[in-house]
Amino acid sequence: PADRMGDVMSDLQNRRAIIMGMGSVKGFEVINAKVPLAELNRYSTVLSSLTSGRATYTMKFASYEQVPADVQDKLLKAYQEQEEEE
């Protein structure tokens, strides 16, 4: 829904999305974005909440990308902690 585009865009940006385009297709508002799969956990629930159940999404594999340094550090730390526990 057009009245919720700002909320959806904000949520996508918080999920490290790269917005590829926006527009209207056959009366529907469409956002095309690349979002890391790891950031899409519970996205359907959040999207439904943001749009009062009026939006849907689809996804397909686009590419592998290197994670940002801060995310890489977090992943490495979690891995090292797990190794120490074993």
Q: How far apart are CA 27 and CA 79, in angstroms?
A: 46
Q: What is the pTM of this model?
A: 0.81
For the segment 5-47, what is each residue's pLDDT rounded down to a tens digit? 999 999 999 999 999 999 999 989 999 999 999 999 999 999 9
Q: Show the tokens assigned to 65.
A: 């990308």
For the segment 50-62, what is each residue's pLDDT rounded down to a tens digit? 999 999 999 999 9
Q: Which domain holds residue 15?
A: 2-85
Q: How far apart are CA 47 and CA 63, in angstroms?
A: 23
Q: What's the CATH code of the domain at 8?
A: 3.30.70.240
- Give how many domains the chain has, as a whole number: 1
Q: How far apart are CA 50 and CA 46, in angstroms?
A: 6
